[in-house]
Amino acid sequence: MLRRRWWTALALTVGAAGAVVLGTAEPGLAAAGTVAPYVDMSNSQVGMLDQAAGAGLKTYTAAFVIGSGCNQIWGDTLPVGNDPNVDGEIDKARSEGAEPIISSGGAAGLPLAWTCTDQASIVAGYQNLIDTYHVTALDFDIEGAAIADTASIQRNMQALKTLKDKDSGLTFSVTLPVLPNGLTADGVNLVKAAHDAGVKLDIVNVMAMDYYQGDQDMGKAATDAASATLGQIQGVDSSYTYGNIGITPMIGTNDDGSTFSLDNAQSVASWARTQGVGRLAFWSVDRDQSCGSLAGDVHPDASSTCSGVSQNPLDFTKAFVG
Pairing of strands 99-105, 137-141: parallel
Decide if 249 contacts 175 (C-beta within 8 A): no
Q: Which amino acid is at 8?
A: T
Report the percent of the chain where pLDDT is more than 70.
88
Cα gap 163→193, rounded to integer Å: 16
Segment 164-173 shows an average pLDDT of: 98
Q: Residue 69's pLDDT is what?
A: 98
Element (H, E) at 140: strand 137-141
Straight-line distance from the first to the last Cα atom of the chain, in angstroms, rounded to the nearest whole number: 28
Give which of 205, 119, 115, 100 is closest to 160, Cα–Cα. 119
Q: What is the mean pLDDT of the chain?
A: 89
Q: Residue 111's pLDDT is what?
A: 98
Segment 251-259 shows an average pLDDT of: 96
Q: Residue 297's pLDDT is what?
A: 67
Q: Residue 310's pLDDT is what?
A: 94
DSSP codes joined into one string, 261-294: -HHHHHHHHHHHHHHT-SEE--B-GGG-S--TTS
Q: Residue 294's pLDDT is what?
A: 52
DSSP codes joined into one string, 51-76: HHHHTT--EEEEEEEEEETTEEEETT
Q: Is 73 helix (H, G, I), strand (E, B) or coil?
A: strand
Q: Lowest mean pLDDT: which of 16-25, 50-59, 181-190? A: 16-25
Q: Residue 56's pLDDT is what?
A: 75
Q: How many residues does the chain have?
A: 322
This prediction has a pTM of 0.90
What's the pLDDT tens digit per position in 98-137?
999 999 999 999 999 999 999 999 999 999 999 999 999 9
Cα gap 96→56, rounded to integer Å: 8
Give which of 40, 37, 42 is closest to 55, Cα–Cα. 37
Q: Is 111 helix (H, G, I), strand (E, B) or coil?
A: coil
Q: Residue 322's pLDDT is what?
A: 62
The better pLDDT of the pair 212, 32 is held by 212
List beta partners, residue 140. Answer: 104, 174
Residue 22 has pLDDT above 50, yes or no: no
Confidence of residue 25 (pLDDT cuts 50, 70, 90): very low
